[in-house]
């Protein structure tokens, strides 16, 4: 099995190199946006004239004509490969849209999408020992400012595929994509203990059916206050002023720092989960809610001030999408699987007897079943229900029908769960069966 893996390293460009980065990023953004306009507004005319639909190859050919225009002379500064990659990115964005995986492609914006990709491995050299990265236009000839200085915190492995340089806040990063060969692990058929359920918790973003919780306090009150303060400061500045630009940069820096922290945290959590569990069951994503929250982030930051109640939720939602994305590939590498189960009523269903009632959720964090009086942490109760749905989807049944649902059974369940909680066990129901 071929596996694509990337490492992301910090780049420390000289001021001259940074200017060059910004110029290349600007050219790529322009080409991307022009390509988007062409595909969005002129696809019918294009088809009438050429008899074909607009695609990557057609646009790539037109790129040569575009660069020949006197007013687009500056495009020659950017490596052709990078410009072509911008069009390929656009093609991918359209493919994702038509495949129902993403919304309609949006224009790239300065300050938010400053990135460009070098797709030819033959033109790239990574020097781990000296922490240098050689890219076309950087570090080849004398007088070009030398190779890029990078912090190689880990060794590249496998076959180099391409490098993407991007800006996040004030920092520049290079994402080095590599391809490795790995044998797909051959595992026996899964059994019930291989399955864990995970719910989005109230106190912590991720709660397992075993009662473990992950990711609490990634973003504290201090950070939220700072974000509010910075966005307020931004909204008080004059449009187009230098102070506004400074305030915008300060907010962006803060936000990207939080994003890095979250990403790091989620990576650690998903690695741990994938190491310890073969099959992870989560709720199916509500795609509409996801895109709605994404839309909120691009809007003027000033508007977020009014939505501070929703901020937390939004952070959680975005974390959830990333969490899911990482789990899919990390589990697959180990021969595991991510299961997505229907999300309906998971927080209102009793994990002991299966009774569904909104009243069972007595408070924000306590679940007390109105039918059988089973009591548990609300997040954990939902995680156990998600796990049960995962087991059903796999055709695995842990509790034969009839053994749960009686008052005694539920009580025993509750006792066992309490015990397990203290031991920080993986799975409460297994211990009941044992």
Can you tell me the distance from the alpha carbon of 143 to that of 337, in angstroms, rounded to the nearest whole number? 51
Can you tell me the distance from the alpha carbon of 123 to that of 162, in angstroms, rounded to the nearest whole number? 9
Can you tell me the distance from the alpha carbon of 226 to that of 221, in angstroms, rounded to the nearest whole number? 9
- CA distance to 10, 19, 170, per residue, from 131 (Å): 10, 21, 20
On whether the CB atoms of residues 28 and 87 are closer than 8 A, the answer is no
Please give the full DSSP string across 104-152, using - where no structure is assigned: ------TTT--EEEE--GGG-EEETTTTEEEBTTBSSSTTS--SEEEE-
> At its nearest, how many Å lie between Zn ion and the CB of residue 354?
7
For residue 109, how far is the Cα from the chain centroid?
A: 20
Q: Which of 209, 270, 218, 231 is nearest to 431 (CA)?
A: 209
Q: Angle at Cα 301 formed by Cα 296 and Cα 305, nearest 5°?
A: 90
> At its nearest, how many Å lie between Zn ion and the CB of residue 414?
10
> At its nearest, how many Å lie between Zn ion and the CB of residue 416?
15
Catalytic, out of 114, 168, 194, 199: 199
Which residue's CB is nearer to Zn ion, number 48 or number 363?
363
Residue 111 region by backbone torsions, left for phi larger than 0, else alpha for psi between -120 and 50, else beta: left
Which residue's CB is nearer to Zn ion, number 309 or number 402?
402
> At its nearest, how many Å lie between Zn ion and the CB of residue 405?
8
Q: What are 200's strand-pairing partners?
A: 206
On whether the CB atoms of residues 279 and 390 are closer than 8 A, the answer is yes
Which residue's CB is nearer to Zn ion, number 253 or number 399?
399
Which residue's CB is nearer to Zn ion, number 226 or number 355?
355
> At its nearest, how many Å lie between Zn ion and the CB of residue 93?
47
Which residue's CB is nearer to Zn ion, number 269 or number 372?
372
Interacting residue ranges for Zn ion, rule: CB under 5 A: 350, 352-353, 355, 369, 371-372, 374
Residue 274's contacts (CB-CB under 8 Å, 6 or more residues apart) are 280, 327, 330, 331, 333, 334, 336
Which residue's CB is nearer to Zn ion, number 301 or number 409?
409
> At its nearest, how many Å lie between Zn ion and the CB of residue 390?
19
Alpha helices in 299-377 (DSSP H): 301-304, 308-333
Catalytic, out of 91, 379, 413, 420: 379
> At its nearest, how many Å lie between Zn ion and the CB of residue 203?
22
Task: Note if 317 is an active site residue.
Answer: no
Block residue for tokens 């920092």: 171
Tokens for 103, please give them. Answer: 């919304």
| Surface-to-core class of residue 123, CB atoms within 10 Å of its CB (0-12 exposed, 13-18 middle, 19+ buried) | middle
Which residue's CB is nearer to Zn ion, number 83 or number 404?
404
Which residue's CB is nearer to Zn ion, number 61 or number 408?
408
Which residue's CB is nearer to Zn ion, number 152 or number 369?
369
> At its nearest, how many Å lie between Zn ion and the CB of residue 409?
10
What's the chain's length in residues? 434
Alpha helices in 236-307 (DSSP H): 242-276, 287-298, 301-304
Q: Angle at Cα 221 formed by Cα 216 and Cα 227, nearest 5°?
A: 115
Catalytic, out of 283, 317, 377, 398: 283
Can you tell me the distance from the alpha carbon of 402 to that of 414, in angstroms, rounded to the nearest whole number? 17
Give catalytic residues, as residue numbers: 199, 283, 379
């Amino acid at each position: 099995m071929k596996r694509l893996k990337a490492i992301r390293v910090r780049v420390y460009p000289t001021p001259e190199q940074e200017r060059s980065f910004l110029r290349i990023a600007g050219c790529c953004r322009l080409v991307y946006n022009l390509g988007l306009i062409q595909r969005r507004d002129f696809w019918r005319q294009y088809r009438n004239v050429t008899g074909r639909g607009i695609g990557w190859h057609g646009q790539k050919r037109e790129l040569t004509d575009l660069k020949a225009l006197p007013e687009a002379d500056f495009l020659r500064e950017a490596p052709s490969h990078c410009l072509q990659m911008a069009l390929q990115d656009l093609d991918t964005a359209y493919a994702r849209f038509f495949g129902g995986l993403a919304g309609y492609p949006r224009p790239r914006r300065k300050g938010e999408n400053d990135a460009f990709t070098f797709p030819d491995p033959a033109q790239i050299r990574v020097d781990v020992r000296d922490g240098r990265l050689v890219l076309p236009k950087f570090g080849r000839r004398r007088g070009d400012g030398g190779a890029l200085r990078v912090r190689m915190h880990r060794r590249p492995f496998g076959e180099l595929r391409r490098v993407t340089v991007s800006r996040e806040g004030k920092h520049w990063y290079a994402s080095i994509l590599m391809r490795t060969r790995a044998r797909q692990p051959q595992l026996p058929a899964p059994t019930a203990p291989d399955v864990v359920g995970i719910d989005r918790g109230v106190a912590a973003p991720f709660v397992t059916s075993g009662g473990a919780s992950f990711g609490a306090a990634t973003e504290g009150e201090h950070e939220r206050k700072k974000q509010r303060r910075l966005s307020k400061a931004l909204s008080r500045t004059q449009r187009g002023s230098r102070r506004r630009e400074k305030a915008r940069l300060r907010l962006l820096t803060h936000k990207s720092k939080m994003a890095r922290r979250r990403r790091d945290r989620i990576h650690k959590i998903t690695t741990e989960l994938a190491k310890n569990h073969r099959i992870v069951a989560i709720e199916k994503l509500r795609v509409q809610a996801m895109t709605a929250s994404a839309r909120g982030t691009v809007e003027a930051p000033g508007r977020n001030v009014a939505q501070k109640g929703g901020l937390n939720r939004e952070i959680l939602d975005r974390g959830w999408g990333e969490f899911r994305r990482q789990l899919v590939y990390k589990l697959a590498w180990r021969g595991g699987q991510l299961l997505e189960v229907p999300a309906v009523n998971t927080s209102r269903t009793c994990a002991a007897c299966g009774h569904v009632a909104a009243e069972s959720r007595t408070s924000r964090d306590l679940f007390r079943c109105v039918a059988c009086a089973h009591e548990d942490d609300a997040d954990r109760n939902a995680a156990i229900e998600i796990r049960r749905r995962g087991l059903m989807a796999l055709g695995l049944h842990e509790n034969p029908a009839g053994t749960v649902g009686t008052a005694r059974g539920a009580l025993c369940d509750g006792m066992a769960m309490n015990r397990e909680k203290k031991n920080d066990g993986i799975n409460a129901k297994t211990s009941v069966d044992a």
